[in-house]
Amino acid sequence: MTRIASAIKTNPWLACPRLNSEAQLRLFCFPYSGAGASIFFGWSKDLPPIVEVFPVQLPGRENRLVDPPLSRMEELVEAACGALLPHLDKPFAFFGHSLGALLGFELARILRSEHGVQPVHLFVSSHAAPQIPDDEPPIHDLPEPAFVAKIRSLNGMSKEILESRELMELLLPILRADFAVCETYAYEDEEPLDCPISAYGGLRDEHVSRADLDAWRLQTRRSFSLRMFPGDHFYLNADRSRLLHALMKDLKLTTPARQ
Protein backbone atom coordinates (compact mmCIF):
# COMPACT_ATOMS: atom_id res chain seq x y z
CA MET A 1 0.00 0.00 0.00
CA THR A 2 1.38 3.43 -0.90
CA ARG A 3 1.98 6.09 1.71
CA ILE A 4 -0.98 8.15 0.41
CA ALA A 5 -3.33 5.14 0.41
CA SER A 6 -2.25 4.26 3.93
CA ALA A 7 -2.91 7.81 5.14
CA ILE A 8 -6.37 7.79 3.56
CA LYS A 9 -7.24 4.43 5.06
CA THR A 10 -6.31 5.60 8.57
CA ASN A 11 -8.00 9.02 8.34
CA PRO A 12 -11.22 8.85 10.43
CA TRP A 13 -12.76 11.64 8.36
CA LEU A 14 -12.71 9.51 5.19
CA ALA A 15 -15.04 6.51 5.32
CA CYS A 16 -14.35 3.55 3.03
CA PRO A 17 -13.10 5.40 -0.04
CA ARG A 18 -12.62 3.18 -3.08
CA LEU A 19 -9.11 4.17 -4.05
CA ASN A 20 -8.48 4.51 -7.76
CA SER A 21 -5.06 5.56 -9.00
CA GLU A 22 -6.53 6.33 -12.44
CA ALA A 23 -9.11 8.79 -11.13
CA GLN A 24 -8.74 12.38 -12.28
CA LEU A 25 -11.02 13.97 -9.71
CA ARG A 26 -11.90 13.37 -6.05
CA LEU A 27 -15.48 14.02 -4.96
CA PHE A 28 -15.75 14.71 -1.22
CA CYS A 29 -19.32 14.20 0.03
CA PHE A 30 -20.70 15.80 3.20
CA PRO A 31 -23.87 14.34 4.81
CA TYR A 32 -26.94 16.02 6.25
CA SER A 33 -27.76 16.44 9.96
CA GLY A 34 -27.71 13.17 11.87
CA ALA A 35 -26.47 11.16 8.89
CA GLY A 36 -23.16 9.38 8.42
CA ALA A 37 -20.90 8.83 5.46
CA SER A 38 -22.70 5.58 4.63
CA ILE A 39 -25.39 7.48 2.71
CA PHE A 40 -22.77 7.91 -0.02
CA PHE A 41 -21.34 4.38 -0.03
CA GLY A 42 -23.17 3.35 -3.21
CA TRP A 43 -22.08 6.34 -5.27
CA SER A 44 -18.81 4.87 -6.54
CA LYS A 45 -20.47 2.10 -8.51
CA ASP A 46 -22.82 4.58 -10.19
CA LEU A 47 -20.11 7.03 -11.21
CA PRO A 48 -17.43 6.52 -13.88
CA PRO A 49 -13.89 5.58 -12.81
CA ILE A 50 -12.72 9.11 -13.55
CA VAL A 51 -14.30 10.12 -10.22
CA GLU A 52 -12.99 8.90 -6.86
CA VAL A 53 -15.72 9.24 -4.20
CA PHE A 54 -14.60 10.20 -0.70
CA PRO A 55 -17.54 10.05 1.78
CA VAL A 56 -16.73 12.34 4.71
CA GLN A 57 -17.44 10.98 8.19
CA LEU A 58 -18.20 13.69 10.73
CA PRO A 59 -17.39 13.10 14.42
CA GLY A 60 -19.90 11.25 16.56
CA ARG A 61 -21.54 8.93 14.03
CA GLU A 62 -21.20 5.39 12.71
CA ASN A 63 -17.55 4.34 13.13
CA ARG A 64 -16.79 7.61 15.00
CA LEU A 65 -19.26 7.22 17.88
CA VAL A 66 -16.50 7.78 20.45
CA ASP A 67 -15.65 11.18 18.98
CA PRO A 68 -17.79 13.96 20.43
CA PRO A 69 -19.88 15.75 17.77
CA LEU A 70 -18.96 19.35 17.07
CA SER A 71 -21.63 21.99 17.54
CA ARG A 72 -20.16 25.11 15.94
CA MET A 73 -19.39 25.70 12.27
CA GLU A 74 -16.01 27.27 12.99
CA GLU A 75 -14.67 24.23 14.85
CA LEU A 76 -16.17 21.80 12.34
CA VAL A 77 -14.62 23.62 9.36
CA GLU A 78 -11.24 23.91 11.06
CA ALA A 79 -11.15 20.21 11.92
CA ALA A 80 -12.35 19.12 8.47
CA CYS A 81 -9.83 21.39 6.78
CA GLY A 82 -6.93 19.85 8.66
CA ALA A 83 -8.14 16.32 7.95
CA LEU A 84 -8.82 16.76 4.22
CA LEU A 85 -5.98 19.05 3.22
CA PRO A 86 -3.39 16.26 2.73
CA HIS A 87 -5.73 14.57 0.25
CA LEU A 88 -6.31 17.55 -2.03
CA ASP A 89 -3.32 16.64 -4.18
CA LYS A 90 -5.44 16.23 -7.30
CA PRO A 91 -8.47 18.13 -8.66
CA PHE A 92 -11.39 17.82 -6.24
CA ALA A 93 -15.05 18.76 -5.92
CA PHE A 94 -17.40 19.05 -2.94
CA PHE A 95 -20.97 17.76 -2.69
CA GLY A 96 -22.94 18.60 0.44
CA HIS A 97 -26.56 18.01 1.34
CA SER A 98 -28.37 20.33 3.78
CA LEU A 99 -25.88 20.82 6.66
CA GLY A 100 -23.26 19.31 4.36
CA ALA A 101 -23.87 22.05 1.76
CA LEU A 102 -23.09 24.77 4.28
CA LEU A 103 -20.03 22.88 5.50
CA GLY A 104 -18.73 22.35 1.95
CA PHE A 105 -19.18 26.05 1.20
CA GLU A 106 -17.34 27.26 4.30
CA LEU A 107 -14.62 24.68 3.78
CA ALA A 108 -14.11 25.93 0.22
CA ARG A 109 -13.74 29.47 1.57
CA ILE A 110 -11.18 28.59 4.25
CA LEU A 111 -9.17 26.51 1.78
CA ARG A 112 -9.08 29.51 -0.55
CA SER A 113 -8.11 32.05 2.10
CA GLU A 114 -5.64 30.00 4.13
CA HIS A 115 -4.20 27.49 1.67
CA GLY A 116 -4.69 28.94 -1.80
CA VAL A 117 -6.66 25.95 -3.12
CA GLN A 118 -10.32 25.46 -3.95
CA PRO A 119 -12.62 22.83 -5.44
CA VAL A 120 -13.10 22.73 -9.19
CA HIS A 121 -16.86 22.51 -8.53
CA LEU A 122 -19.13 23.00 -5.52
CA PHE A 123 -22.43 21.11 -5.34
CA VAL A 124 -24.90 22.42 -2.75
CA SER A 125 -28.05 20.45 -2.13
CA SER A 126 -31.22 21.25 -0.16
CA HIS A 127 -29.89 24.27 1.69
CA ALA A 128 -30.66 27.94 1.21
CA ALA A 129 -27.84 30.21 0.12
CA PRO A 130 -25.80 31.20 3.20
CA GLN A 131 -26.54 34.93 2.93
CA ILE A 132 -30.27 34.29 3.44
CA PRO A 133 -31.15 34.72 7.15
CA ASP A 134 -32.71 31.69 8.83
CA ASP A 135 -36.02 32.93 10.23
CA GLU A 136 -37.00 29.58 11.73
CA PRO A 137 -36.86 29.42 15.56
CA PRO A 138 -33.92 27.31 16.79
CA ILE A 139 -34.69 23.78 17.95
CA HIS A 140 -31.32 22.39 19.07
CA ASP A 141 -31.92 23.23 22.74
CA LEU A 142 -35.59 22.23 22.94
CA PRO A 143 -36.66 19.73 25.60
CA GLU A 144 -36.40 16.18 24.31
CA PRO A 145 -40.12 15.55 23.54
CA ALA A 146 -40.40 18.77 21.53
CA PHE A 147 -37.07 18.18 19.81
CA VAL A 148 -38.02 14.63 18.79
CA ALA A 149 -41.40 15.84 17.53
CA LYS A 150 -39.67 18.41 15.36
CA ILE A 151 -37.23 15.83 14.00
CA ARG A 152 -40.15 13.52 13.21
CA SER A 153 -41.88 16.30 11.25
CA LEU A 154 -38.85 16.73 8.98
CA ASN A 155 -39.44 13.24 7.54
CA GLY A 156 -35.76 12.41 7.31
CA MET A 157 -35.64 9.39 9.61
CA SER A 158 -37.32 6.03 9.36
CA LYS A 159 -40.12 5.02 11.69
CA GLU A 160 -37.96 2.15 12.99
CA ILE A 161 -35.25 4.56 14.14
CA LEU A 162 -37.68 7.04 15.66
CA GLU A 163 -39.37 4.28 17.67
CA SER A 164 -36.11 2.73 18.91
CA ARG A 165 -35.17 4.15 22.28
CA GLU A 166 -31.59 2.84 22.03
CA LEU A 167 -30.99 4.31 18.58
CA MET A 168 -32.51 7.65 19.52
CA GLU A 169 -30.30 7.86 22.60
CA LEU A 170 -27.30 7.56 20.28
CA LEU A 171 -28.65 9.95 17.67
CA LEU A 172 -30.08 12.78 19.77
CA PRO A 173 -26.71 14.28 20.83
CA ILE A 174 -25.55 14.15 17.20
CA LEU A 175 -28.74 15.76 15.94
CA ARG A 176 -28.62 18.49 18.56
CA ALA A 177 -25.00 19.26 17.68
CA ASP A 178 -25.73 19.31 13.95
CA PHE A 179 -28.72 21.60 14.34
CA ALA A 180 -26.65 23.85 16.61
CA VAL A 181 -24.03 24.13 13.83
CA CYS A 182 -26.66 25.48 11.43
CA GLU A 183 -28.65 27.54 13.92
CA THR A 184 -25.64 29.37 15.37
CA TYR A 185 -23.99 29.88 11.97
CA ALA A 186 -23.23 33.53 11.21
CA TYR A 187 -22.60 34.31 7.56
CA GLU A 188 -19.76 36.71 6.82
CA ASP A 189 -19.56 38.50 3.50
CA GLU A 190 -16.54 37.57 1.35
CA GLU A 191 -15.65 37.64 -2.32
CA PRO A 192 -17.53 34.98 -4.35
CA LEU A 193 -15.78 31.68 -4.98
CA ASP A 194 -13.87 31.24 -8.20
CA CYS A 195 -15.40 27.85 -9.00
CA PRO A 196 -18.73 26.84 -10.56
CA ILE A 197 -21.61 26.14 -8.20
CA SER A 198 -24.49 23.76 -8.86
CA ALA A 199 -27.51 24.01 -6.54
CA TYR A 200 -29.85 21.01 -6.31
CA GLY A 201 -33.19 20.66 -4.55
CA GLY A 202 -36.42 18.71 -4.27
CA LEU A 203 -39.58 19.99 -5.93
CA ARG A 204 -41.63 19.09 -2.85
CA ASP A 205 -39.17 20.45 -0.29
CA GLU A 206 -41.21 22.44 2.23
CA HIS A 207 -38.12 23.92 3.90
CA VAL A 208 -35.93 25.11 1.01
CA SER A 209 -37.51 26.92 -1.94
CA ARG A 210 -36.30 27.31 -5.50
CA ALA A 211 -35.56 30.96 -4.75
CA ASP A 212 -33.47 29.94 -1.73
CA LEU A 213 -31.39 27.70 -3.99
CA ASP A 214 -31.16 30.20 -6.84
CA ALA A 215 -29.57 32.72 -4.46
CA TRP A 216 -26.42 30.55 -4.40
CA ARG A 217 -25.52 32.16 -7.75
CA LEU A 218 -24.27 35.18 -5.82
CA GLN A 219 -21.55 33.04 -4.23
CA THR A 220 -19.59 32.34 -7.44
CA ARG A 221 -17.74 34.31 -10.08
CA ARG A 222 -18.04 31.36 -12.43
CA SER A 223 -20.98 29.46 -13.91
CA PHE A 224 -24.06 28.61 -11.87
CA SER A 225 -26.71 25.97 -12.47
CA LEU A 226 -29.91 25.10 -10.62
CA ARG A 227 -31.57 21.70 -10.89
CA MET A 228 -34.78 20.54 -9.23
CA PHE A 229 -35.59 16.86 -8.71
CA PRO A 230 -38.76 14.96 -7.86
CA GLY A 231 -39.02 14.51 -4.11
CA ASP A 232 -38.79 16.41 -0.84
CA HIS A 233 -35.89 17.65 1.25
CA PHE A 234 -34.33 14.18 1.11
CA TYR A 235 -34.81 13.64 -2.61
CA LEU A 236 -31.24 12.29 -2.92
CA ASN A 237 -32.26 9.07 -1.18
CA ALA A 238 -35.08 8.38 -3.63
CA ASP A 239 -33.47 8.63 -7.07
CA ARG A 240 -29.71 8.43 -6.86
CA SER A 241 -29.19 7.62 -10.52
CA ARG A 242 -30.95 10.81 -11.65
CA LEU A 243 -28.92 12.89 -9.22
CA LEU A 244 -25.57 11.39 -10.22
CA HIS A 245 -26.37 11.74 -13.91
CA ALA A 246 -26.93 15.46 -13.35
CA LEU A 247 -23.78 15.72 -11.25
CA MET A 248 -21.65 14.18 -14.00
CA LYS A 249 -23.27 16.43 -16.59
CA ASP A 250 -22.27 19.48 -14.55
CA LEU A 251 -18.78 18.14 -13.84
CA LYS A 252 -18.06 17.86 -17.58
CA LEU A 253 -17.44 21.58 -17.52
CA THR A 254 -14.53 21.21 -15.13
CA THR A 255 -13.34 17.60 -15.08
CA PRO A 256 -10.00 17.21 -16.89
CA ALA A 257 -10.28 15.38 -20.19
CA ARG A 258 -8.75 11.94 -20.58
CA GLN A 259 -5.27 11.92 -22.05
127-148 pLDDT, tens digit per residue, is: 999 999 988 899 999 999 999 8
Which has the higher per-residue pLDDT, 158 or 116?
A: 116
Q: What's the mean pLDDT in 185-205?
A: 97
Q: Are 57 and 37 a contacting pair, CB within 8 Å? A: yes
Contact partners, residue 103, CB within 8 Å, separation at least 6: 30, 73, 76, 77, 80, 96, 181
DSSP state of 160: H
Q: What's the mean pLDDT in 118-132?
A: 97
Per-residue pLDDT, 135: 86
Give pLDDT tens digits for 161-188.
777 878 888 889 999 999 999 999 999 9
Catalytic residue status for 98? yes
Give pLDDT tens digits for 218-259.
999 999 999 999 999 999 998 899 999 999 999 974 444 443
- Of the candidates 109, 127, 100, the one whose C-alpha atom is nearest the C-alpha of residue 214 is 127
| DSSP-assigned letters across all residues of 8-30 | HHT-TTB-S----TT-SEEEEEE
Which has the higher per-residue pLDDT, 141 or 10?
A: 141
Per-residue pLDDT, 6: 56
The pTM for the full model equals 0.92
Q: What's the mean pLDDT in 35-39?
A: 95
DSSP state of 220: B
Q: Which residue among 33, 44, 71, 98 is the active-site one?
A: 98
The pLDDT-based confidence of 189 (bands split at 50, 70, 90) is very high
Which has the higher per-residue pLDDT, 21 or 250?
A: 250
The pLDDT-based confidence of 9 (bands split at 50, 70, 90) is low
- Which amino acid, 13? W
Give pLDDT tens digits for 75-97.
999 999 999 999 999 999 999 99
Sheet of 197-202: strands edge to edge?
A: 51-55, 25-30, 92-97, 121-125, 197-202, 224-229
Q: Can you tell me the distance from the alpha carbon of 1 to that of 9, in angstroms, rounded to the nearest whole number?
A: 10
Worst-scoring range by mean pLDDT, 16-30, 142-156, 243-257?
243-257
Per-residue pLDDT, 2: 55
Q: What's the mean pLDDT in 210-225?
A: 98
Mean pLDDT of the chain: 91
Per-residue pLDDT, 115: 97
Q: What's the mean pLDDT in 8-17?
A: 80
Query: What are the chain's domains?
Result: 3-133+189-251 (3.40.50.1820)
Q: What's the mean pLDDT in 191-199?
A: 98
Q: Can you tell me the distance from the alpha carbon of 252 to that of 250, in angstroms, rounded to the nearest whole number?
A: 5
Contact partners, residue 122, CB within 8 Å, separation at least 6: 93, 94, 104, 105, 108, 193, 195, 196, 197, 198, 220
